[in-house]
Structure 1
Amino acid sequence: MLSTKQRILNASVKLFNEYGVDAVRLQQIAEEIGISVGNLAYHYKSKDAIIESVYEQVIDEFSHIFRQYLQSPDLADFDQQLSLYYQFFQANQFYLAEFFKASTTPGDHTVAWQQAVNKMLLQLRSWLLFHQQREVLKPEPAPGFYDQLAQSLWMSLVFSPIFSTMRGLPSTETSYKQAVWSHIRPYFTEQGLAEYQADVVPLLSY
């Protein structure tokens, strides 16, 4: 069973996603998990303390995704990482809004997120280089091209669900992953395309 502190954090994330961080009150969080405000205050003395713990949890979850990088060298491994990114951004939709709101006065969590974003970009660029060396991806058509592709992949990973919501379209894990792979497919070699068809396409058909 989850601890009361974890239940508080989970309820807070749910309510932050629904109403925004500023609109949620301690009473709502307590009611969400069926405890008194006094019991909640025993674990977290203020809403700011809850927010800080939620932010720490978000960064920890994001760091966990980084640790899945290249656990195996095939394309299916990256597809699994895409699933983790989808689940993360779906579960923490409020965080992007909070980041942009706080970007003018960055705090510790903002700096931590900026570091995570830069690490994500480096990891994507490293992934492209790795698969170019495997001859799964074609050589760069121009210097710095894969740096730009890494940025496009990052934009798709972070903002695809938001873009779908803005258009009134459903956002599913499959459509999310297809959007990311569509950036990569044109640069597969014949070997890479064969691996993609064999190992990734079946995972996109469920």
Structure 2
Amino acid sequence: MPLSTKERILNASLRLFNEHGVDAVRLQQIAEEIGISVGNLAYHFKTKDAIIESVYEQVLDEFAHIFRQYLQAPELAAFDQQISLYYQFFRNYQFYLAEFFKTNSEQTSQQIQWQRAVNKMLMQLRSWLDFHVQRHIIRPETSLGQYDQLAQSLWMTLVFLPVFSAMRGTAVDERSYKQSVWDHLKPHLTEEGVDEFETLVLPTLA
């Protein structure tokens, strides 16, 4: 089924935002990207801010979809699938980091929403660790705050690895992305956890 003009506008905007940054993109560029007039574009989105708001709605909806995968199944394989979703997300929405760290005197509503989303992601990772400690898949903490630090390390890898790799001029594919996340977790697995990892997750990394 062909995309509607509105969907084509949003897809083109996302491509241009990723390539040039939100501030540098003009309505004329977006219109030219999909071969329509600025007047036709304005029929669907009267301002660039309206486009930005719709793109962010799309971003946050997809992020919420990833959250909903949390604990749908208890096995480590479910988390491995969630890592794949994060990989696709952070590859598709590269512009978000530049927007998040813009030095404005006041945060935009989009920045505030994104801040809430990434904080929720960090809390979910911490909760995930506790859940698998209870399952005897991950060892209990050996020192106070150990898994707070581990959750932060997982969060930073999931969020920043694609950008960090690009800054170094190296590519990160889905397999190496997932491997980097699991490298943080493997030292903390119990014997049961290692068995489950080798049975359910390792074959997907091979």
TM category, shorter = over 0.9
Q: 1:62 to 1:104 in 2, by over 3 A?
A: farther
Q: 1:139 to 1:104 in 2, by over 3 A?
A: farther
The equivalent of 2:148 in structure 1 is 147
- Aligned sequence identity (%): 69
The equivalent of 1:110 in structure 2 is 111
Q: Structure 1 runs of 4+ off > 6 angstroms?
A: none
> Which runs of 5 or more residues in structure 1 are unaligned?
none
The equivalent of 1:38 in structure 2 is 39
Name the aligned partner's letter for residue 163 of structure 2: I
Per-residue deviation, 1:2: 2.1
Taking structure 1 as the reference length, what is the TM-score of the superposition?
A: 0.96
Taking structure 2 as the reference length, what is the TM-score of the superposition?
A: 0.96
Per-residue deviation, 1:160: 0.4
State the Cα deviation string for residues 64-116 of structure 1 (Å, max 9, x = none). Answer: 11011111000010010001101000000001111110564212111111111
> Which runs of 5 or more residues in structure 2 are unaligned?
none
Whole-Å separation in 1 of the counterparts to 2:63 and 2:97 = 13
The equivalent of 1:187 in structure 2 is 188
The equivalent of 1:161 in structure 2 is 162
The equivalent of 1:174 in structure 2 is 175
Per-residue deviation, 1:166: 1.1
- Number of aligned positions between the proteins: 205
Larger deviation, residues 95-104 vs 46-55: 95-104
The equivalent of 1:199 in structure 2 is 200
Name the aligned partner's letter for residue 125 of structure 2: L
Name the aligned partner's letter for residue 195 of structure 1: E
Larger deviation, residues 109-118 vs 125-134: 109-118
Would you say the 8 A contact 1:103–1:110 is kept in 2? no
The equivalent of 1:56 in structure 2 is 57
Whole-Å separation in 1 of the counterparts to 2:33 and 2:138 = 49
